[in-house]
Amino acid sequence: MCGFSAWLSRYCRTDSWQLRNVAADRSSAKVLAELRGLLDEWMGTTGDPRATTDDDRWDRYPYN
């Protein structure tokens, strides 16, 4: 998680209002992959049904 801490510190200094979407930014790809991996691991550990089944209702839910 060390890479994330350094990235977050730099990002917060340059975009403190977090207006820029960095998910599509190539310079953030390594951090994004690290965070996605941590989220997947946590979801599996906690038994989150979105990680443990093939149920796609979460992708089809009408959020509006």
pLDDT single digits (tens) 9-40: 888 888 888 888 888 889 888 888 999 999 99
Structure tokens at 15: 């975009």
CA 41, 3, 30: angle at the middle one, nearest 5? 70
* The residue type at 33: A
Tell me: pLDDT of 49 over 60.
yes
* This prediction's pTM: 0.66
- Residues of the chain with pLDDT > 70, as a percent, come to 94
3 in Cβ contact with 32 (< 8 Å): no
Other CB atoms within 10 A of residue 11 CB? 18
